[in-house]
Amino acid sequence: MFEKILIANRGEIAVRIIRACRAMGIKTVAVYSTADKHSLHVYLADESVCIGPPAARDSYLNIAAILSAAKGTGAQAIHPGYGFLSENSTFAKLCRENDIVFIGPSPEVIDRMGNKSQARKTMMEAGVPVVPGTKEPVHHPEEALVIAREIGWPIMIKASSGGGGKGMRVSLSETDFAEQFSIAQRESVGAFGDNTMYLERCVMNPRHVEVQVIADTHGTVVALGERDCSVQRNHQKMIEESPSPVMTDEVRTEMLNAAVRAAQAVGYSSAGTIEFLLDDQLNYYFMEMNTRIQVEHPVTEMVTGTDLVQEMIRVAAGDPLTFTQDDITYRGHAIECRVNAEEPERGFLPSPGVISQMHLPGGNGVRVDTAAYDGYDVSPYYDSMIAKIIVHGRDRTEAIAKMRTALEEMVVVGVKTNLDFQYAIMENETFAAGTADTSFIERFMKGEV
């Protein structure tokens, strides 16, 4: 097992990884930008190294600085968390070349699944259901239009290297197709430096349901149930829960088996997520694979009693998983709300500043993952999420009631937050009924649900 791990991240996920390492008796190294000098992950780690100025490209995306910090402190492995370099195959490859273990899948697998059109092709060959669309990438609008006519409208236009909703547009008819394709492609070039696109039949107002998998290097792949992430805006998740309120045992079994096949097809190891679209007839289609730990992993941990971060570390060290598929049982219902420093009434405008006072909720079945504290400076340079509230109940009704209580109890003074907005969702009849799909937030804000 590793003696020292460097965490190439910040905020709550860096704190989460540090705590997992400490529980395993592993020393930790934090890296930080000058803006994060007084961040919690810096205080909690055994050692810390400044890797650059505030801008992410000069610090948390600075591969040379991070590798230098790892080698200088004698760290044997790097955990990338999520975001930043977590799905950067070049970084994973350079870790390997420098005899540092990257706690995640191999760079070859990251490449294979990071390219969305290639991932679709791989899933088709593995017998995993995919949305009807292109098997090969497309680059030109004229070529794409010919294929679109075969698929049929509405069409989802996506960047092959995309993520976070960037490089993604919906074409409703042949009339707007060229314009939407060009817009999506420009976004892809701007965000990812790649003009490669692919097309899918657009599943209107689907649910977003994903399966957590984890695999070791000894051939074991385990699916740990599904998470419903349908409550989102602009393809950014806001609320996640496990299990999905619409899932049947039959469809769950099929979907989990498909997720395991997907991981096996690419020789996957570490924690990963297979994301599916689920239509109103409970037909599911592969969307993409995230080759990293997810923001919403705690809801899976709550219902399965597992520690995914510790398992990732064990797998990276060459150890087998501590459980098999037969060991996984599901207990109750878990919900996660992302608490962001933002103003929902002003288009979710970020609200950076100093938190002068903060009170966190607690109690039976309540978990808060955060790096914020009284006096913490919410930086304008990074994501606006300041905490995740995760609750666990015997069933979904109890979990919703616990989340309402937790949101009421949490106090944040000094910056604006989305606490009231999240509470209003918990009170909403459509959400309570479990029928919210990916169009829910848009309709919620218009008062249509």
C-alpha to C-alpha distances, 23 to 26, 309, 310, 311, 415, nearest whole angstrom: 8, 11, 9, 12, 33
C-alpha to C-alpha distances, 166 to 61, 103, 158, 268, 351, nearest whole angstrom: 19, 26, 8, 26, 22
**Cβ distance 162 to 192 under 8 Å?**
yes
For the chain, what is the mean pLDDT? Answer: 96
Positive or negative, the CA dihedral 15, 20, 25, 28 is: negative
pLDDT single digits (tens) 91-116: 999 999 999 999 999 999 999 998 87
pLDDT single digits (tens) 216-229: 999 999 999 999 99
* Torsions phi, psi for 317 (to 5 deg): -80, -5
User: Could you list the active site residues?
Assistant: 292
| Cα distance between residue 109 and residue 113, in whole Å | 6
Nearest to 3, CA basis, from 67, 100, 77, 81: 77
Where do the domains of the chain lie, and which CATH numbers do they carry? Answer: 4-103 (3.40.50.20), 141-201 (3.30.1490.20), 207-446 (3.30.470.20)
Over the range 363-394, which residues count as b (16 or more CB within 10 Å of their CB) and which as e? eebbbbbbbbeeebbbbeebbbbbbbbbbbbe
Nearest to 411, CA basis, from 364, 338, 354, 360: 360
DSSP 85: T
Instruction: Collect all residues with Cβ–Cβ distance below 8 Å to 120 and sequence separation of at least 6.
Output: 130, 133, 134, 135, 198, 286
Nearest to 9, CA basis, from 34, 26, 32: 32
SS3 state at 125: helix
pLDDT single digits (tens) 34-76: 999 999 999 999 999 999 999 999 999 999 999 999 999 999 9
Query: Regarding predicted confidence, which is higher, 96 or 192?
Result: 96
Q: How do beta strands 4-7 and 77-79 pair?
A: parallel
SS3 state at 355: coil
Q: How confident is the model at residue 164 (pLDDT cuts 50, 70, 90)?
A: low
SS3 state at 408: helix
Averaged pLDDT, 175-194: 93
